[in-house]
Structure 1
């Protein structure tokens, strides 16, 4: 669907106009007003020329007053139509991109995590914001305006030919030069615009990553080095804009020069014709105004044509996101009234790419209400196990079932609503504590939130915050401690009342004192639920019904804490290493 090398892409325009259908009446009215503006554009110059020949030169004051009033009425009418047309086209453009932006956002939130692994977030922000804005310009400054400008040129040239065809042909002699210049300009400026859009995406990506990770930049004193990188990216963006402006700086003076050539021909031929009385001064006056009304739209046509192309470049990028076939297939229909929470992995193999398996022949089961712990070194496959259970990624071989039903057979929303995951890196939105807990689910009451907060031991600290549950935690929960943010994530999991609970390194980022508080919260949270716990701190999983030791995606050992210690194998080595390094006496 590339637009490069094409004047415009008909298929792309058709696709954009699919979003115009709900606003068909606004579009039709905009086009009607545009045609009406083009139709009445020659009237005022004609009236001025007619007044000059028939009233001013003849000294008819009353006729002059009458014509003046008529011209004022025409000007008022033209102003009203112009206002209405501008308002409607902008309304149409903004309505279209509002719907498109909703579709893009909705599509992005349903994409697999695999897509985000390889796509910079800044690039997606560019697609959803600035690229979409260029599509709005297709309606407000591009396509409809081009139709109006083209019609105006045709109508005015037709009127000029009707008044004096010989004079018209003489003054339009330079027009072929203008057409050649316009074509050259269009080809050059389109390439420049595409470069500008590419550099905008690069700039947004860099800014998003480095503002989000500014603490790392400062911790490692990388300000100067990152400044140099940003300087170079910004320089490329500046140069791309300068190149596009350079083409304008050449094109517009050429248009003015060609326009001046037409005016010179008009003065030469028209003046000669006045001497022979074959043309009146009023006609010369009309043609002076008509020339301006011909060349101005032609000059604007080039600019608006490029606005159209810019919009199509933006549309191409936006539709590329919409066409991304990275959604999790949701063909499941099963939606039981209640899940027990029996989980089984049967010979499960998984790889993030087609070659390197990170999980190999994984087989285990968790009975409803039991707790299973996954342990192992970094990269052993613990988090990958959780990701495939939630269907963020699909297994390559084998099957995962819940209550004996394959997870692909459940409706996706139902499956994920019944699995609450508490991550090590807690994500909080820039919103109130209440909304971060409920995630704006209207079915969750404040009473349920308070009750859950009391169960996990967070109610007291929330009440001490300004505004309590209405306290705004700011971006990523920056105004809260790591422990407080973790407790809020526990409340969030509890109020959604899942059948299955996943704790992914949920206590590894807090101090020992906070860990004790969080451990009590975890005990309340896990009560009566099937739980899968990933933990580096082995002290937190000793009560698990089953501990699975993973190494390079394979199960090395399975059993309870005591059973694994007696094996004197991989788990025992991990246990001894951790507790000796922490200086804590082992308890058997």
Structure 2
């Protein structure tokens, strides 16, 4: 549960390894053709760029001593052509790799979002939503430069190094060996800072995640914060979280910035060495033009080496974020279709719980050996004390969780043998926590049935008595509501959620505290509308106001993980058991009020 706190760093379940780079290349693979085209253009650009130092050598060694104007003109034309070709190739390269990189990021973001929608409730219950959000947005965005420019630029720089080495070897192989003498020093230097940089960015990702989690939590709970005048306290907490993030950032970038000056200094020392060897003629005999051309090639060699070092730097930095992204993608959904899952046939509504036992991870049994049978069209009310297992029953029926023992059958078919989509599309579930999405009221009611006509939406709203208040709004059904329906009352949000559930025309209807935020007058009207809806449907209703479930076919009193008694309202009142005592306590309370 430590993950579920903004001030606790998340420990990686599995460290990043080389095999994970193949997973990154998986997102690159669909774009092989445009990548190959871009690399070909880059190859042409590199060859064109290599002509510059060679043409300088020709001018110094051949044109100036002989004053050959014809050769000078041809050299000028060749140089101009190389500049034009290089310029066009660079323009094409920038355009191409930007498009490719953004497409790869889109695919990665879509993959993680799609995966998140398949994860069980327990995943979202076990960590702040801010720590989940940062993976989809910030961490993916951090990879932008790596994927937009890095991978293709890496190949481009490798090509540039190879082509430059070929030209250098063609001019003088001895000088080429002098140029490479400090490469081992560079390798040792890079390896030295690699691990320090990676650990620093792992810590930075933790602190960034913590800060994002606290911001998200603070925004979601802003009403509570202002109600208890907690603004100053929260400011102090955020200041501490932000200070930790800043400290981690400064440490990470201070290590990262060691690489560039280190490589740059090695390049400058190498250039100085070539000047010294060339001028003093130590083991070489070269012309002035050759030396100048070779220095040009040395610069062309070290520039891409520096770029490769920067790419490696970025790769180490990105690794800290890739670890978090792949960690999320590696979370296996607890609830998923079996390989042999079939489509659920049209549901008639026969429900059977047979020896059902359920417990959360490493916890005690929430339900113990539950057995009951519901005929098609029956309405079943679930009552009992808080935490008795009522909501768990409907969560298991909707297969939000899987049972530990026993089986749940609908029309004689085990829920675990059908696809989740085909099962849930035939069930209407209205949970205790109503959620209204940003958009219009029409779009919210249509959420479960996108092809519904406006007339069908209005008809569903009328049944649940939402039509009257919607019609009084400025734009009626096309009124825009804000995130989580903050501009609507709790009762209005619940009625809209009810209409959304009913519009889906479910074969099995599940209502968890469906009328908890509705006033008594509206509830009376709603009950009349629901009588028609419940006809011919199997329904499960959880309600603490027992007056709302008196007309149910049967009432199950659940306590201590078991069905303690079952029957109609009249039957249970005669038995004078737990239900009778619960009903009487509510009745006496109302009398006192």
Fold shared, TM-score > 0.5 on shorter chain: yes
After TM superposition, the structure 1 stretch with the greater mean CA deviation from structure 2, 382-391 or 367-376, is 367-376
Q: Secondary structure at the match of 1:129?
A: helix
1:354 CA displacement? 4.1
Q: Determine whether 1:292 maps to 2:318.
A: no
1:543 CA displacement? 1.5
Match of 1:335 in 2: 344
Distance 1:277 1:534 in 2: 92
Q: Secondary structure at the match of 1:18?
A: helix
Change (3 A) 1:255 1:567: same
Change (3 A) 1:60 1:236: farther
Q: Determine whether 1:510 maps to 2:518.
A: yes
Distance 2:36 2:160 in 1: 18
1:240 CA displacement? 2.2
Change (3 A) 1:282 1:385: same
1:231-287 CA-to-partner distances (Å, cap 9, x unmatched) read 33322322222122112333333333323323333443444459x995444334323
Match of 1:398 in 2: 406
Match of 1:494 in 2: 502
Distance 2:515 2:204 in 1: 46
Q: 323, 330, 347: which one pairs with 1:323?
A: 330
Q: CA RMSD in A?
A: 2.9
Structure 1: any 5+ residue segments left out of the alignment?
none
Q: 383, 392, 401: which one pairs with 1:384?
A: 392
Q: 309, 313, 335: which one pairs with 1:306?
A: 313
Match of 2:163 in 1: 155
1:485-516 CA-to-partner distances (Å, cap 9, x unmatched) read 11111111111101111111112223334433
Change (3 A) 1:406 1:257: closer
Match of 2:4 in 1: none
CA contact (8 A) 1:263 1:288 kept: yes
Distance 1:61 1:582 in 2: 110
Match of 1:551 in 2: 559
1:442-471 CA-to-partner distances (Å, cap 9, x unmatched) read 432222112222222222322332332222
Structure-to-structure mapping, 1:270-289, within 5 angstroms: 270-272=278-280, 278-289=285-296
CA contact (8 A) 1:424 1:506 kept: yes
Q: 476, 481, 502: which one pairs with 2:484?
A: 476
Change (3 A) 1:3 1:406: closer
After TM superposition, the structure 1 stretch with the greater mean CA deviation from structure 2, 169-178 or 321-330, is 169-178
1:77 CA displacement? 0.9
1:384 CA displacement? 0.4
Change (3 A) 1:69 1:240: farther
State the 4+ residue runs in structure 1 displaced beyond 6 angstroms: none
1:168-213 CA-to-partner distances (Å, cap 9, x unmatched) read 4445544433332222233332222222233333333333233222
Match of 1:227 in 2: 235
Distance 1:253 1:188 in 2: 17
Structure 2: any 5+ residue segments left out of the alignment?
1-11
Match of 1:255 in 2: 263
Q: Secondary structure at the match of 1:562?
A: helix
1:320 CA displacement? 2.9
CA contact (8 A) 1:3 1:312 kept: no
Q: Secondary structure at the match of 1:235?
A: helix
Match of 1:190 in 2: 198
Q: 125, 131, 143: which one pairs with 1:117?
A: 125
CA contact (8 A) 2:352 2:409 kept: yes
Distance 1:462 1:481 in 2: 12
Distance 2:223 2:243 in 1: 25
Q: Determine whether 1:127 maps to 2:138.
A: no
TM-score by length of 2: 0.89
Q: 19, 28, 37: which one pairs with 2:27?
A: 19
